[in-house]
Each structure stands twice: as C-alpha cells, then as structure tokens.
Amino acid sequence: MLHIILFGPPGSGKGTQAERLIEKYNLFHISTGDLFRSEINQQTELGLRAKEFMDKGILVPDEITVGMLKNKVESSVDVKGFIYDGFPRTIPQAEALDKMLSSKNQSISALLALHVDDDEIVRRILNRGKNSGRSDDLDESIIRKRMDEYRLKTSTVYNYYDSKGKSIKIEGIGTIDEISNRINQNIEGLIC
C-alpha cells in the first residue's frame, strides 16, 4: 500500500497536486488542514480548540492533530493508499505516524517535498485568499507566521525521512501540469 507524504510550505501547491494524485492513483487524501476546517464548520469542540491556533497561524498541538489523523486513517477501509497533505508537521507527528503504520506492518513510501521560494508563496496565498474563504490566507502577517512555523517546526521532518532514504525534492515552480509530471515520475518509480 502506498503512503505518500506531500510536503512543503503553505502555498506550495500540496492541495492542488493531491487532487491530481487521488484521481490518477486512486489514493485516499487526508489533509489535516481540511479536517480541522470541517470540524470548525461543524462547530465541534475539536474545531473550536483548533481554531484558536489556526487563526494565529501557529500549529495545532500534536496530541489533537495526531488523534484526529489516526481516527481518519482507521476509518478509511478498502483504499489503495494514502496521501498525507499537511501532515506530519513536527517530528513527534512523524514518529506517531510511523508507529501507527508499523503496527500494521506498513511504512511511508516517500515524502515528496515541493520547493517554492518565499515571495512566490506569499503571492500565491494572498491570491488564493480571494476565493478560499480562509481568514488565514488574507493577512500577510499571519501568512508569514505560518511560514515561520514551517521553518521552525516542520522543515526538519524532511531530514527525518531523508535519513531513512525516503525524502525526494520536487521543483514546485512551473505549470500545474509540469509539477504533476515531476511528481508522477517519482510515484511511478515507487510502484515499479
């Protein structure tokens, strides 16, 4: 079973590329950001707790995030594999994911890291904010905070999987098709 982490800073195109991958490879997409937003819309207790952090552009604590992720994986039966989008974002999250998978005799297939420079990220997110309805996409200081969180807490997850020989860098600049093609080439390599 494929377990692919789509990795990169906010605005690097993970969501867009994940949509392509679920169609092409019939994978199940788990975006922790989307899960939190759905909890917020339903005004659940988990959603209300997560919102406090999300509105400030900082990460939701690991125990909340990991619990939610595990529930989603456990309840997804009959799937060919998973794309994790926006998860793991810390080393403890990566360790929890590995532990859960190893208890099922499975493991992460690859971490595909999209590389996009900071100015392009801010430009893309502000542009997305016009239609996304996401308050954290509208304020440049919150966007910069999210980028700081990425640098401080998340970027090291790349090294964690790199030390296991699983991290792959993907140039995240170009047309959506060009970037998809780069991703697909790497996934084909995993399937063969």
CA gap 95, 65 in Å, rounded: 13
Contact 148, 15 (CB under 8 A): no
Q: Give 137's DSSP letter.
A: G
CA-nearest of 106, 42, 105, 95 to 69 is: 95
Residue in 30, 46, 82, 89 binding ligand AMP, rule: CB under 6 A: 89
For 1, 4, 92, the CA distances from 88, given in Å and listed in that order, are 18, 11, 8
* 6/13 Cα distance (integer angstroms): 9
Query: How many residues interact with ligand AMP (rule CB under 6 A)?
Result: 15
Residue 109: CB minimum distance to ligand AMP, A? 19
Under the binding rule (CB under 6 A), the answer on residue 13 touching ligand AMP is no
The reply on whether position 114 binds ligand AMP by CB under 6 A is no
Given 59, 68, 110, 187, the residue binding ligand AMP (CB under 6 A): 59
| By CB under 6 A, residue 84 contacts ligand AMP | no
Does 168 participate in binding ligand AMP (rule CB under 6 A)?
no
Residues lying near ligand AMP in the complex (CB under 6 A) are found at: 10, 32-33, 36, 53-54, 57, 59-60, 65, 86-87, 89, 93, 146
